[in-house]
Amino acid sequence: MALFLRVRQWLRCQTPFAELIMTDTSLILYGTPLSGHAHRAELMLRLLGLAYRYEDGSAPVRRTPAFLALNPLGQIPILVDGDLVLPDSNAILVYLARRYDPSGAWYPDDMVIAARIQRWLSMAAGEVRYGPAKARVIQLFKAEGDLAAAQAIATQLLVFMDGYLADRAFLAHHAPTIADVACYSYIAHAPEGGIPLDAYAHVRGWLGRVESLPGFVPMPRSPVPD
Ligand SMILES: N[C@@H](CCC(=O)N[C@@H](CS)C(=O)NCC(=O)O)C(=O)O
């Protein structure tokens, strides 16, 4: 067993981000690779260069008493940091930025910037969740729901975002903040919900800027419907 652990450690050391995913860290993220909410939290960990352990948060795990003790809602992501157990992707972004970014760049104190960030966190939990994220979960995972309604919400959101980003590099400030991290994953993967991004050049430019940030890690691509 000890040898197995050492081999696994060595194998991890062969990957570019190996130094970030370690077992001897107090930060633990429960998620699944195809959850945009979990990706949001993982992306923040990576952008901050934080070491963390990734724990499976797949559906059978989410139904266990141990998982439900961490989050009675049975949802991922959950961040554990020592004694702190923190469900909810946007709450995790706020915590990570406040706790681990002493520069304050990812979540500035300035009241107007903070308010603008909050607007986009609300959009991430509102229009993004019920638009592109909902359409994707219906298409990919055959979840129940009204695909056309979700696609309509997504289209309205994308038209708005494309205009908004016409003269802005990032969502809430001239530099990236947790607002961009909150919105990135499900907008980038909107085509998997049958929502092409071809018509939204400014949105695609913004996605590219997020993808260029040091530490960026993508969420695995899934099939795009015809
Ligand atoms: N408000 C939560 C929503 C998280 C969420 O919807 N997670 C999904 C996976 S993407 C989940 O765990 N679904 C299982 C369930 O709701 O039973 C957040 O932002 O983290």
Q: Name all domains of the chain by residue range, CATH numbers in brackets.
A: 2-100 (3.40.30.10), 111-211 (1.20.1050.10)
- Residue from 150, 226, 143 nearest 186 by CA: 150
Neighbours of 209 (CB within 10 A): 15
Q: Which residue, by CA, sits nearest to atom 3 of ligand 1?
A: 88
What digits encode the pLDDT tens for the residues 155-191?
Answer: 999 999 999 999 999 999 999 999 999 999 999 999 9
Q: How far apart are CA 122 and CA 92, in angstroms?
A: 14
| Ligand 1 pocket by Cβ (under 6 Å) | 35, 37, 74-77, 88-90
Task: State pTM to two decimals.
Answer: 0.91
Q: How far apart are CA 16 and CA 28, in angstroms?
A: 20
CA 90 to chain centre: 9
Pocket test for ligand 1, best of 58, 67, 71, 76 (most atoms within 8 A of CB): 76
Q: Provide the residue type at 115 as one letter.
A: A
Give the mean model confidence (pLDDT) for residues 15-29: 60
The two tokens of residue 153 are 């919400």
Instruction: Name the residue with tokens 């040091």.
Output: 214
State the chain's mean pLDDT as an integer: 91
What digits encode the pLDDT tens for the residues 88-100?
Answer: 999 999 999 999 9
Say if residue 24's pLDDT is above 60: no
